[in-house]
Structure 1
Amino acid sequence: MIGLKDLLFYCFILFLCSTSSESFKILVYTNLFGHSHVKVMATVADALTDAGHNVTVLMPIIEQQFINKTCLKSTKNVIFVEQDDKLKALMATRSKRFETLWTSGFNNPFVVAKKSKLMSELFSEHCRKVMSEKKLIEQIKSENFDLAITEPFDTCAYAFFEAISIRAHVAVYSCSRLDHVSEVIGQPAAPSYVPGMTSLFGEKMNIWDRFLNFYLYKANSYAFSRIGDENYRVAKEFYPNIRSWREVVPEATFLFTNYIPYLDFPAPIFDKMIPIGGLTVKTDQKEVQLEEKWSKILDERKKNVLISFGSNARSEEMPIEYKNALLKVFQSMSDTTFIWKYENPEDPFTKHLKNVYLSAWLPQNELLADPRLTLFITHGGLASVLELAMTEKPAIMIPVAADQTRNAQMMKRHGVAAVLKKFDLANPVKIQEVIEEIMTDSSYRENAKRLAEILHNQPTDPKETLVKYVEFAARFGKLPLLDNYGRHQSFVEYFFLDIISIISFTVLVSSYLFYRLLGYLFRKCRGSSIKNKKE
């Protein structure tokens, strides 16, 4: 006879069996390039590790500065692919050329072409290094991973997946959309009302705006497609039988986008596109506790402003006239503390100002979550935008490049941000006027509070959504029936031009026959009338 203790023990074992989920072997391929990209992919890896899966992260190094800033916490199995000398030289060249971000117009076709050539050289050399690691590739192939994950920002991962014969893969965007991916998967771009990735406009555009939006969509798609095609050319030198990224990307079981439907511009998506926007934002009070150093700084004055332009547009490389203009603003607003992410905090140009603090690194999420922070001046990278949106902070958006203008217009649409051009940084009067406007106009803070409340009460949780869909993809592999057939259609078929032509031809022929019939009847009636008169 089973005793009470035995019964409880069996019930406990049954409970564990019923609640435990299957553990999958998952490969995450993410370059060490761009903090926002690294952070998103690291958060994905950690979420899956925390869910009990066996996660391996492959990190080819493009930017050496991130070697100790992988953003990984619980995921320990990490494989680095080191830079070679040629890649190091290209990165040094890139750093010099990217100084022009502060002064160049990134919607200029010549700038787009120049940056495209530079990025293509950089990523193709990186891809050559990765694909030359045949011993590593064979080692990873022998692991028989259930699923691979990457961001299609860099398409070399898809050549790697082909080389290891991965059974299925999913994609993760660190932004809300990637124009070159939209084209190959057949996602409708709708440029007449949906701002492209590098668009300068919101959803309401006049005829010239719509033309520029379409042009920028195509230019951006071309630039990234060029990188992808060059990666494929290089990868084929080592594995001649692999397929192009244009064939492999659409086979992704799911595409996870850093997109929050209420926050972003409404746009057409597919069933296989899964929003996980806000995944990287820390909102739990236990996670956003400030260090004492920063807490003391916020206590010094009632008004506090955080300034950060991200990792690509380095503040220390800002034109001197921009720096001087900001100094004038700091001096005239002595009752306000300014905390500035500045790569060279030993720079003496602010030493005479007691209300300015420079730091090469800032706990941005934690500072934004603190109620003592008044305003955020930002370049408008999506990671920063999501953090300020979910922490009730009004902002001044000063886009520098990439998707930042689009993000700025997105926040302006919600009434939580004012938007300046980067060239306005040379105008201290304008900068101060906008800062004071946002600080005194309560509508900005009220709108920010309402937006954050909506985002915190969404019916879905991004982390849970990610884990469930990844587990589904790992279990069932590729799902070709979710593939959008529209991508296989010709231009004529997709836009109904054949049907429109048939209808137009039918209408024209019918109209002509009707016209001839009317003419015949008219002549018949007229002839009868004349005959009757003669009689």
Structure 2
Amino acid sequence: MVNFKFLSNFKYKSINCIIICKIQILSKILKKFLLNKNINVMNFFILLHFSLIQYLIGYKILIYSPEIGHSHVNFNIRIANTLIEAGHNVTYLKISIAKNINFKTKANIIETTSNKKFLNLFNNVVGVKNMWTMKDSFIEQMTDFSQFTNGLVVLCQSIFEDDKLTDIIRNEKYDIFIGEFYTLCPVFLKKYWNIENSIFTSAMTNNELLYDYFGLYFPSSYVPTMYHNANDNMPYLQRWSNFIDYYISKIFFKYILVPKFQLIYQNKSNDFTFSITEIAKETGAIWINTLPFIDFPSPITSKLHYIGGAGLPETKPLDDKWNNILNKRDFNVLISFGSIAKSYTMLEEYKKGILKAFTDLSNITFIWKYEKNETTLPLKVPSNVIIIDWIPQNDLLNDNRLNLFITHGGINSIVEAASRSTPIICVPLFGDQKRNAGMVQRLGFSEYYDKENLSNSELLKKTILKIIHNKTYSKRANRIGTLMKDVPFKANEIIIKTTEFIGKNGNIPEMNLHGSNMGIIEFFNLDIIFILIVLLILVFLSFYHLTKKIFKSNYKYKSD
């Protein structure tokens, strides 16, 4: 391992994969050659050629990953590990932001600490605010979104100004750049770092604000926006709300946020021709962390691929401790609200409501991921409740003795539960979780539960019993689980195949929708519609005047 240190906030760690891999392969081949006297020189070189060819065709890939949250890091690490296992040379650009995010990868690591100004802005939105007390109003969400994106602008500025980092990345001459497009900075960084081919990703769903740039129209009449609580069958008032949410967000994004990133790029590169409108031309694929039979069906470009469930860890058999817990009662429920919103930070009345409901349901074992000692709870913990700060979530979900999963509605938790055919109750707290909750409720294996109703023990109890005793939920969960198992193209396969396809053939401009180059008048055929309306009006007026003239002539004839 070679270590380079630049400035006070930058550290570069790199493993020279080419040398190590070649040495390992050569040593194995030489050992076989020396031990086997029957192998001639020609056979040795043929063996050497085919042993090295798989590695030599691997691509150099850079993954850009600001550590905004566990789910985003998890998503990017799974992509990195999948590509490494396929024989590619992957470098993971780690932008340290959130604390206590740990991961395992064999990728080369470039690590840089975030700008202090950004960290302050980030903590004001994510670090300081209690997710349990955040309001669901659109105004508060837009305020938080504005603060958060201002932080992303500051972060992007600091990365562009890091000339040492730029030199390292340019000198590496990467074949492919992979980055989440919702932070916007990657769109400009890949151009600035001279990386020709790129894949843009989303650890959530496809962002409605980017539809225009890919030549698509966002159908707000039946697809909820990122932060909207609705399903695809919206009544009139919900469609109004979704419509307004979308266009307010779109105006903010297009006319306030994007120009800030554009200016950063222009000031550093002196390139005034490239803009975010080129994003469709500058990418070979878009990966989103969901599945077509889980997410809301919507218009997509042929460059978009669903990779939900990519890199899901293999399940392991539960040990005796967990087997004993699951065998105690006929029903078992798992409760976990993710890594950002800690259970111990929820309001006291929520804790009381949960414990009262669990106490009344004494024939059910509740496994509650709670990050502090149970003495911090306001009520005595009943014997049927297991309080624990860590759980083997994936393994528990895979066990058919688990009947229900109560979750915050993060996309990774939803995909895990769906893949294991487990019914869920979604208690969305912030961000896209409300949309996710509505998304899976419409599929019939989940119920949406407002966090403010956690204090209502009777309603919570009723909802839990409804899902456990109504077999429709488990049947629908089994249906979704079967679809995930039988999907014709697995997520890992899509990641590997599309990466190699783009590495070999570039960004595939043949697949770009021309709609991204069209103005609103052309795109919606408003010029044609206008002419048709004018023609219809002329026909109507002509018919009116002709009729009037005929009646007038008849009247005059009768008078005479």
Q: Give the TM-score normalised by structure 2.
A: 0.85
Displacement of 1:235: 5.1
1:203 alignment partner in structure 2: 232
Contact 1:147 1:477 in 2 (8 A): no
C-alpha distance 527-459 of structure 1, shift in aligned 2 (>3 A): same
2:361 to 318, 329, 333: 333
1:343 alignment partner in structure 2: 371
Give yes or no for the alignment of 1:49 onto 2:77: no
Q: Partner amino acid for 2:133?
A: T
Contact 1:395 1:416 in 2 (8 A): yes
2:188 alignment partner in structure 1: 159
Q: Partner amino acid for 1:341?
A: K
1:39 to 66, 71, 74: 74
Distance 1:97 1:240 in 2: 38
Distance 2:148 2:187 in 1: 18
Q: Which shows bigger deviation, 201-210 or 287-296?
A: 287-296
The SS at the match of 1:467 is: helix
2:223 alignment partner in structure 1: 194
Displacement of 1:51: 0.7
Q: Partner amino acid for 1:490?
A: G
Contact 1:156 1:232 in 2 (8 A): no
Distance 2:262 2:420 in 1: 41
Give matches, 1:47-446, under 5 Å.
Answer: 47-66=82-101, 69-70=102-103, 72-73=104-105, 75-95=106-126, 97-99=128-130, 101-106=131-136, 108-221=137-250, 227-234=257-264, 236=266, 238-241=268-271, 246-250=276-280, 251-282=282-313, 284=314, 287-345=315-373, 348-349=376-377, 352-446=381-475
The SS at the match of 2:169 is: helix
Q: Partner amino acid for 2:149?
A: S
Distance 1:163 1:41 in 2: 21
Spell out, residue by residue over 1:368-395, the C-alpha distance to the aligned partner (whole angstroms, 9 max, x if none): 1122212100111111111111101111
Distance 2:99 2:426 in 1: 29
The SS at the match of 1:40 is: helix
Q: Partner amino acid for 2:302?
A: D
Spell out, residue by residue over 1:104-130, the C-alpha distance to the aligned partner (whole angstroms, 9 max, x if none): 333x23202320232023222322332
The SS at the match of 1:102 is: coil
Contact 1:398 1:420 in 2 (8 A): yes
Distance 2:546 2:116 in 1: 81
The SS at the match of 2:405 is: strand
Distance 2:319 2:164 in 1: 45
Spell out, residue by residue over 1:312-351, the C-alpha distance to the aligned partner (whole angstroms, 9 max, x if none): 3332221111111112122222332222223334653266
2:63 to 28, 47, 60: 28
2:31 alignment partner in structure 1: none
Displacement of 1:291: 4.8
1:512 to 528, 531, 541: 541
Q: Partner amino acid for 1:43?
A: R
Figure out how many residues of one structure are paired with residues of the other and give that number: 519
Identity in percent: 29
Q: Which shows bigger deviation, 129-138 or 518-527?
A: 518-527
Q: Give the TM-score normalised by structure 1.
A: 0.89
Displacement of 1:137: 0.8
Distance 2:253 2:559 in 1: 76
Distance 1:115 1:292 in 2: 45
The SS at the match of 2:287 is: strand
Spell out, residue by residue over 1:407-437, the C-alpha distance to the aligned partner (whole angstroms, 9 max, x if none): 2222222211121111111101100111112
Contact 1:119 1:227 in 2 (8 A): no
The SS at the match of 1:197 is: coil
Unaligned runs of 5+ in 2: 1-37
Q: Which shows bigger deviation, 89-98 or 482-491?
A: 89-98
Q: Partner amino acid for 2:178?
A: I
Distance 2:221 2:494 in 1: 31
Displacement of 1:232: 4.1
Give matches, 1:451-530, under 5 Å.
Answer: 451-524=480-553, 527=556
Q: Which shows bigger deviation, 433-442 or 361-370?
A: 361-370
Contact 2:220 2:239 in 1 (8 A): yes
Give RMSD over aligned pairs. Answer: 2.8
Q: Partner amino acid for 1:39?
A: N
Distance 1:92 1:507 in 2: 59
Q: Which shows bigger deviation, 336-345 or 108-117?
A: 336-345
C-alpha distance 333-245 of structure 1, shift in aligned 2 (>3 A): farther
Distance 1:293 1:86 in 2: 46
Distance 2:415 2:553 in 1: 76
C-alpha distance 222-104 of structure 1, shift in aligned 2 (>3 A): farther
The SS at the match of 1:215 is: helix
The SS at the match of 1:98 is: coil
Distance 1:363 1:31 in 2: 26
Unaligned runs of 5+ in 1: none
Distance 1:352 1:527 in 2: 98
Spell out, residue by residue over 1:191-232, the C-alpha distance to the aligned partner (whole angstroms, 9 max, x if none): 111222222111111111111112233344456665554444
Distance 1:110 1:228 in 2: 20
Q: Partner amino acid for 1:468?
A: K
C-alpha distance 348-154 of structure 1, shift in aligned 2 (>3 A): same
Displacement of 1:400: 1.4
2:477 to 444, 448, 452: 448
Contact 1:344 1:360 in 2 (8 A): yes
